[in-house]
Amino acid sequence: MKVVNSEQIKQLDRIAIDEFLIPGIVLMENAGLAVVDEVLKSIKDKENKEVIIVCGMGNNGGDGFVVARHLLNKGIPVKVFITGNPADISGDARKNYNIIHKLNVDIHILVGVNNLKKFSEIIKSSSLIVDAIFGTGLKREVDGLIKEVIHIINNSKKEVIAIDLPSGICADDGSVCGIAVRATKTVVLALLKLGNINYPGADYVGEMILKDIGIPNKAVEDMSLNINLITNNMVKEYMPVRKRDTHKGTYGKAYIVAGSTGMTGAAILSCEAALRSGAGLLKIPVPQSLNTIMETRLTEAITVPLPEFRKGVVGISDIEKIIKTMEESDAIAVGPGSGRSRELEELLRNMLEHTSKPIVLDADALNALADRKELLELIRSKAVMTPHEGEMARLTGLEIDYINNNRIEVASEFAKKWNVVVVLKGARTVVAGPKGEIYINTTGNPGMATAGSGDVLTGIITGLIAQGIKPLNAAAVAVYIHGASGDLAAQKVGEYGLLASDIVKEIPFAIKEIVGR
């Protein structure tokens, strides 16, 4: 499912109008009808059906005028409030304003304190508010009268249906332009906007309903849009079919370098997640002193005990054995709970120099790359890197605030620069490919902000790559399954007490729910 910014949706409108000869007023009519459908659903069982429509001066307001006309024709009591001088309304919005004016729709102009008081009083007796103030073009702080209007809407405690975006949310990044309408439901027109799904905007949209307004599919295809929302259907498409005539080798061999003294839990979580996501076989090289712990917990994995330079730390004294067993695998992961050490840095250097297999780099492997950036030059395989914002800051030298405010751009630029797949973890995890591909995930919940959650994600990615899914697709599918597993866990234990091990337990159930087997 494609996701666009304000400039892209503007360009799509232009293509539909200029190249496909679809009049703008037709698109506005379709948008209004889409909203009417949702309004009627919301007021169906309400005794009081009066609808307040608050309209701005642009095309979003024009959509609101269309809504008013159709509701009036269906016998629904309607009052329209306009946040400016109607003389300034132009284009298709002007035509629709003229129509409702001719129909004697109850229209109020919001200027001055007295009008705001009247607006506040009228809202109290209404059933529902339609927010048609701003569309996708808002770039400035909301202030003055409109700021007060939004305050009144939010304080009314009424059901609010926003058209396309809650007014005050920036379409490009989901930021709040000073103040924004808190919608109960948002009717998203044509395509999802980044402001609909990125935080903090995602907290304002309420239930999202995506509606077609007649922009041709060919127009969307011709634009080669690169930002995608990860969906159930996408995950189902990429998950391998498990045929009856198969064996463990069919579903791949995973190899995870993880764990050190005090952090065996990270290794165990990663390995269990790889197996739970469907990998047929798993090997884990471990420091010899930790082997008993790992064998006791990982009964389905094969441990490869190794000599130690320092107790509880994997070194390179047996690098040939590591490289041999590594190259026998279909997917490799390095880093969960490995600890920051010179030994890991040298081990990683040797692994990157010798492997051509897909490799997932997480946690302490990322720290090693940040400490010795020349190691990035050694990445020859199809690598997936899974940083959170702190690790990305160390890798790039950028400030954390900048990264959080520019997640897509930062992830994409890094992926292109180093020819890797980047999984920038967070409330809206971004998966970026080396050719500019972007995938955004919306599954998951705050309970997953717990120690070990990232280790679970690494295991899922590794397990999926081992099964033959391409690294970029595996990363996108994995973050969706990871979040879906966390959502299932939260349903059982709640968000406060959710543990990473709870996520692991739900992986097979999440996959079953998505793919049906």
SS3 sequence of 213-261: CCCCHHHHHHCCCCEEECCHHHHHHHCCCCCCCCCHHHHCEEEEECCCC
Query: Do the annotations mark residue 455 as ligand-binding?
Result: yes
Query: Do the annotations mark residue 296 as ligand-binding?
Result: no
Query: Do the annotations mark residue 212 as ligand-binding?
Result: no
Count of beta carbons in the 10 Å neighbourhood of residue 124:
9
Query: Do the annotations mark residue 427 as ligand-binding?
Result: yes
Query: Do the annotations mark residue 24 as ligand-binding?
Result: no
Two tokens at 67?
A: 């809504």
Query: Do the annotations mark residue 158 as ligand-binding?
Result: no
Give the model's pLDDT for residue 287: 87
Give the model's pLDDT for residue 319: 82
Query: Do the annotations mark residue 138 as ligand-binding?
Result: yes
Give the separation between CA 368 and CA 492, rounded to whole angstroms.
37
Ramachandran category for residue 363: left, alpha or beta (phi over 0 → left; psi -120 to 50 → alpha):
left
Give the model's pLDDT for residue 316: 67
Two tokens at 68?
A: 């008013």
DSSP state of 202: G
Asked if residues 70 and 33 have their Cβ atoms less than 8 Å apart, the reply is: yes
Scanning 372-470, the segments in alpha helix (DSSP H) are 389-396, 400-405, 407-418, 453-466
| Residue numbers in the chain where pLDDT is lower than 50 | none
Query: Do the annotations mark residue 114 as ligand-binding?
Result: no
Give the separation between CA 496 and CA 391, rounded to whole angstroms.
25
Query: Do the annotations mark residue 497 as ligand-binding?
Result: no
Asked if residues 503 and 509 have their Cβ atoms less than 8 Å apart, the reply is: no
Query: Do the annotations mark residue 135 as ligand-binding?
Result: yes
Residue among 98, 8, 97 at smallest CA distance from 59: 97
Query: Do the annotations mark residue 445 as ligand-binding?
Result: no
Query: Do the annotations mark residue 426 as ligand-binding?
Result: yes
Asked if residues 215 and 23 have their Cβ atoms less than 8 Å apart, the reply is: no
Query: Do the annotations mark residue 245 as ligand-binding?
Result: no
Query: Do the annotations mark residue 59 as ligand-binding?
Result: yes
Structural domains in the chain plus CATH codes? 3-223 (3.40.50.10260), 232-515 (3.40.1190.20)
What's this model's pTM, rounded to 2 decimal places? 0.93
Q: What angle do CA 364, 370, 374 make, to 5 degrees?
A: 120
Query: Do the annotations mark residue 141 as ligand-binding?
Result: yes
- Token pair 């001088």 in the structure block, residue: 85
Query: Do the annotations mark residue 196 as ligand-binding?
Result: no
Handedness of CA 267, 269, 274, 280 (dihedral sign): positive
Two tokens at 384?
A: 């997936």
Handedness of CA 506, 502, 403, 167 (dihedral sign): positive
Phi, psi of 442 (to 5 degrees): -120, 0
Query: Do the annotations mark residue 428 as ligand-binding?
Result: yes
Give the model's pLDDT for residue 381: 83
Number of residues assigned to the chain? 517
